[in-house]
Chains A and B, each alone.
Chain A
């Protein structure tokens, strides 16, 4: 039996798709910023903080990196309310993504900041820079320069991974695809179009992050 693909049946649902697209973009942007912030603080604390804190962060990083995002999401959305913390789908999705990206970016940024030679930090101190200034200009900036491509790839992986937030009924792109195919029964067409939307997002994100990287952390 030959089946004719009917992409036109998706057109009436363009607003659902658009809303899903906006949701996925917004979720990615917000949790990327929060996640990279967590990662930056985590990397600093792991390198310069007390030993117990470094150990704790190490456990956090390994725990997150070695479990599936889906389970982390379920733990946040179903597990935390049982422990007394009520969350909406969107909040749970945001928290899970931030925790996830936070762990990966802690590891990535640490790889960059650990490569800072001791002498450079001492040079900064001897120029009467404050601790914060040393951290910002001497340690973090070169670290970000070095690891930006790795960080960008991880952000794209997290963006693609966010498709599972549809499983807790957060209304993202994948949720839109599920919704549309449950109405018009054009399952393959819906998922194909949404997959292409993700592909477009991945390509765009890569381009934007590359431009942002050369803007924020220009190669000396």
Chain B
């Protein structure tokens, strides 16, 4: 990826105070761009067909079929590429460092009365203040077609206010379009402090909300009543007053149907405007969400395809390919196929055949071993499959219900968006609804639909150029304009086929100490995962509660970018049960699940803490 290469080198020699020149940043030569001969998708429903786009001063100046490029325009030969309105993420942490929002764990005397910062109550924070324009996450979003996002702070219960950010600019001030567009809430407690559990969280939220309303009332009285008791300053409560006045909506993280019910119950009780975000299991509540005029941001995190399903699919694909290949070879052979290619085809075929033989052998062995299928297990599998389909089909269900949703990206990765959309569309989501969820819907939800969302004269020039129709499997985003500022992308080389083995780089990166946090029903739990070794890795897990009792991992399995293993955990006095940890790595962080039979699974996440001495003993409750 490289930022526009058109720089006016002469700018270096202009007469300016030398101390103020940033020699690494060059101004753009021109603010006028002319993209000719492209297919233009002006909105989710409408295509302009082949035409030209003129961009001037950050806005779309004209879309037309026969235009001549102005003299000052930088001309981009579209070559029948495809142009779409750039995407808008309904919710994201783009630009905010993962360290941001990590709580300090000072020695607090009373667990029942911790300072707001300890339990993640910082509604006075505004997301744009925390955005770093150079953060890697922004680049990732841009290379996947995103020009804007509603960004919310990281944190725990009330991380702060959402800001609408445009992904262009050298400072967060440059980037911010709307400073405060929402108040963000996650129904999460802090282990060891009030509120620690969901019941504490709900009560604390009622308290804060009603305190804010009372404070507002007090402020009004003080303003008109001289010599009355002063309303004391409270930044957190003051930040919530706009919510009580319905001037700001609450964006609430609601993965599961139970979370949705909680959010809806609180909305009903307290009466604010509600946006539900990261919704993964909302299909049974579409009517109610519609009736209660709740704004919906669906999660882009879908359940992982099960290994066996994947294998099944792969098997299908392979045989399809083989068929195609052999047909191909025949057809082309009859034509003017060159010998080299032919030979390669033959070689492939031989390989396939050899593999087939081996597969066949394996299969026959497996067949012999196979036990009769347990109807009870089969019935459970069938229900799991149905549940799986419901999760993947959620977006289609919302479309059918006529709810104009957008997507959130706190849990799903923006770089997977096309694949994710593909899975949703296979389950019935239309192409139009998929595009709307990334363009017109978020624009309307954020109140900026006059400025962005479609390609129209006068709107911000937020668009991307794809070398094939976007939803084609092989399409690549070549170029993105954000407010008329161009970024070009190198077309990625084909990624290694999945199902591959762990690379040595990945293994090397695994080795070290990783700090983890598990979200248990009783609040988060911290500790370290220590990975050692070179060829065969060993895993040790410690808990900050009991650092003297490390647990050795067994049944270690390495995936391409993942590791899974089993440890014994204590769930009661003297009662140990095996827990399976499945961790997916992304650079220096990981996320995954801890599963215990009968207890279900809990989310786990963590980051690399390079130094092995990093075991910070922030246990608040030390006494022997």
Asked if chains A and B come from one complex, the reply is no
Interface residues of B (CB under 8 A from A): none
Residues on A facing B (Cβ under 8 Å) = none
